[in-house]
Structure 1
Amino acid sequence: MPRVAYNDSALTVWQGSDALQFIDGLSSNKMIDMVEGEMRQTVFTSSQAKIIDLATVFHMGAFLAVHSHHSQLTELLNHVSPRILNQDVSINDATSRNQFCIEYECSNSKIGSFESVEGITHGYVGEGYSLLIASIDVECICEDDIKFFHEWRIQNEVPWNKHEIHQKNHPLSAGLAHLVHPSKGCYIGQEVLARMISRGRQGKKFVRIKNGDVDDKFVTTHGEKYSLAIVREPRQ
C-alpha cells in the first residue's frame, strides 16, 4: 500500500484527569466517552465556528496523544491554553521526536482504533487510509508522490488540511459534517453550527466536480480530470 509523508504534522501529549473532558468542551465531536485503545477525530472551532484545526486523538490510557497540524499548532495552543484555568490538564509538544505518514488505498476493518506494528502506530482513520506515527529512530518509509495521493483523495472525496480543511471554512462546508456530533452539548462554535443544521443551510458545500464545471476560485484540490471544490449552495 502506498505511503506519503505527512509533513505538516504536530503531536502533542495531553495529560491530567480533565484532559478528555477539556477536549470535549472545545471541539465538535463527542469525545468524553472515549476509552483506551480508541482513536477519534474532532474539530476545534472558533466562536464563529470556523476551523482552528482538525485533531486526531489517540487514547493511550494514562494520556492522550493528539495529532494536529504544525502550521496551526501555535493558534491551537493559543486557543486552548488560556481555557485550562484550574483544570487538571497539561499539554506538551512531542512533534520533533516523531515522524508521520499517510498510508492509503487500504482496507481498514478497525476504523476508530489503533495498533502498533513494528514500532509504528497505525491509526485507522477511514475505510481507505490510516495515519502512521513513529519515533524518529524507527524506519518508516514514505516515498509515494503527493500528487498520486491527492488524485486518490479526489476520487474518494477525502478533504485535507490547507485544501478543504481551512480556517476560512466551517466543518460542515469542508466535508467534516461527520465530526459534528448531532446531539452533543455546548462547545465553542456549537450554536452557529446547530443553527446551520436546524435551518438546513450551511452557505457552502464540499463537492467533487469535473474540471471546468465551476470557477477555478472555488477549487480546493486540482486533479487531472476531476477536482474538489467548496461551492456556494444555490439560493432557495
Structure 2
Amino acid sequence: MSTLKRTPLYPLYDKYGARVIDFGGWELPVQFSGIQAEHEAVRTRAGLFDVSHMGEVNVSGKDALAFLQKLTTNDVSKLVPGQAQYSLMCYPDGGVVDDLLVYFIGGDRYMLVINASNIDKDLEWLHVNKQGDVTIEDVSDQTSLLALQGPKAVSILSKLTDAPIGELQPFRFIPDASVAGFGAFVSRTGYTGEDGFELYIGSGNAQALWEKLLEAGTDDGIMPIGLGARDTLRFEARLPLYGQELSAAITPIEAGLGFFVKPDKGEFIGRDVLAEQKLNGAPRKLVGIEMIDRGIPRTHYPVFSDYKQIGEVTTGTQSPTYKTNVGLALIDKAYAELGTELFVEIRGKQLRAKVVKTPFYTKAKA
C-alpha cells in the first residue's frame, strides 16, 4: 500500500476542520466548513487555498527559450520579465501532456508550474525532449503554494506586504516580495474566476504564512478553501481541469483553448495536428450544457442525440452560484450549436439538456 503524499500545511488541517481525501496520491482537504459556504466566500469575500501539491520546475540556460518554444503551444518569446503565460505541452498527435503556467523571470530563467498528478510524467517529458544548454530543476518539494482568491484579496494581502500588489496586472508577478516578513514570489493569475494572488514560498515558512493570511483576513470574512469548492469555482468560470477537460486523448482545440495555440510561432510538438484543427475545426467540441429535466450531469455520463451517443460529460454539478444543473461536455461538433437539445444518461435514464453559453460565471467588472 502506497503512502499518500502530504503538503507542509497538513499539520494545520485538523485545526481548521478539514475533511481530507486521496487526490491523485495526495492527502488533501476536500472541504473545511462546507463546499457551498467556501464557494460563496471566494465569490463574495476571500478564500485561502493550499495548493502546495502543484509542481514547480526551474528551466534555465542559453537554450531555455528555444527549448520551451519547442515544448509548449503558446509563444514564450512574447513574454517580458515579470510576466506569466498559460500554455500546454502536447504529444505529436495533439493530445495534451499537461497544461501549465510559464513564468519568465528574466535572462534565460523560467519557472514552470505543472499539475501535481503529472509531475513525474512532465519531468520525464522535459528531460526526453531536452536539447542544447538547458538546466531542468524540480523545486516542488521545497516550494509551497498558497492561493488567496476573491474580491477582498487585495485588501487582505496589502496588510502583510509593502509590495505594489494592487498595481500588479493579471499574469504578472513580483519574484522577490516580502509578505509577513517572508520572502515570497507573488503572482496574479488565479483559477477561480475571481481576482487573486498566488504566493510561492519556501516550504518551511508555509504554515506561518497560512496563519498570518487567515488572521489578516478575519474582518473580511476569509475562509480556508478545499478541493471541492476549488473545482466548482473553476468549473463555473470554464477553466479546464487536466484529466477531465484535457487529457492525452483531448486536444487544446477540442477543449476550446485555441487562443493558447500559436502555430505561426514556428515548430513545436503537436503543431501539425493543432494547426490543422485550428484552421478547419476539430471533430469534437467542448460545450456547456444545462439540464432541462431534473438531474445533475456528472463526469463521464454519456451524452446522446436520437439514441446515438455523441460524447460525454467532462465536469458537471449543481452550480453553487446559480443553483442550476450544468455541465461541460465534449461532443461531436455537429451538435454543438447553442440551444441544441441533447440527452444525458443519468442512472439509466436519458434526461433532456440543452447546449448553453459558457462561462457559466463571469466576474463583474470593477
Q: TM-score, normalised by structure 1?
A: 0.86
Gap change, CA 1:123 and 1:205, over 3 Å in 2? farther
Range 118-127 or range 218-227, more displaced: 118-127
Measure, in 2, the Cα distance between the counterparts of 1:97 and 1:213: 40
Measure, in 2, the Cα distance between the counterparts of 1:43 and 1:229: 20
Q: 2:331 aligns with which of 217, 231, 234?
A: 231
Q: 1:66 aligns with which of 112, 118, 141?
A: 112
Q: 1:84 aligns with which of 125, 130, 140?
A: 130
Aligned to 2:316: 222
Q: In the TM superposition, what are the counterparts of 1:40-189 in structure 2 within 5 Å?
A: 40-62=85-107, 63-85=109-131, 87-106=132-151, 110-115=169-174, 116=177, 118=179, 119-125=183-189, 128-129=194-195, 130-138=197-205, 139-141=208-210, 143-181=224-262, 183-189=264-270
- Asked which structure has the greater CA Rg, the reply is 2
Aligned to 2:82: 37
- String of CA shifts for 1:192-233, please: whole Å, max 9, x gaps: 01111211x212222222245978232222322222222221
Measure, in 2, the Cα distance between the counterparts of 1:182 and 1:104: 33
What amino acid maps onto 2:225 in structure 1?
D
- List gaps (5 residues or longer) in structure 2: 1-45, 154-165, 211-222, 303-311, 319-324, 337-366
Gap change, CA 1:162 and 1:72, over 3 Å in 2? same
The number of residue pairs the alignment matches comes to 234
Q: Once the 2 structures are TM-superposed, how far is the Cα of residue 76 of structure 1 from its aligned partner? A: 2.0
Gap change, CA 1:132 and 1:233, over 3 Å in 2? farther
Measure, in 2, the Cα distance between the counterparts of 1:202 and 1:105: 35
Gap change, CA 1:226 and 1:3, over 3 Å in 2? farther
Measure, in 2, the Cα distance between the counterparts of 1:208 and 1:7: 30
Between the aligned residues of both structures, percent identity stands at: 20
Range 209-218 or range 10-19, more displaced: 209-218
Q: Once the 2 structures are TM-superposed, how far is the Cα of residue 10 of structure 1 from its aligned partner? A: 0.6
- String of CA shifts for 1:112-146, please: whole Å, max 9, x gaps: 21123513433222563544322212334382132
What amino acid maps onto 1:37 in structure 2?
G
**Matched position secondary structure for 2:86:** strand
What amino acid maps onto 2:67 in structure 1?
F
User: RCO higher in 1 or 2 (8 Å CA, sep ≥ 6)?
Assistant: 1
**Is contact 1:56–1:67 with CA below 8 Å preserved after alignment?**
yes
Gap change, CA 1:104 and 1:209, over 3 Å in 2? farther
Measure, in 2, the Cα distance between the counterparts of 1:184 and 1:112: 21
Measure, in 2, the Cα distance between the counterparts of 1:131 and 1:204: 33
Measure, in 2, the Cα distance between the counterparts of 1:43 and 1:75: 14
Q: TM-score, normalised by structure 2?
A: 0.58
Aligned to 2:13: none
- List gaps (5 residues or longer) in structure 1: none
CA RMSD of aligned residues (A): 2.6
- String of CA shifts for 1:18-61, please: whole Å, max 9, x gaps: 11221011110000232211111211100001100112111122
Measure, in 2, the Cα distance between the counterparts of 1:39 and 1:113: 6
Aligned to 1:209: 289
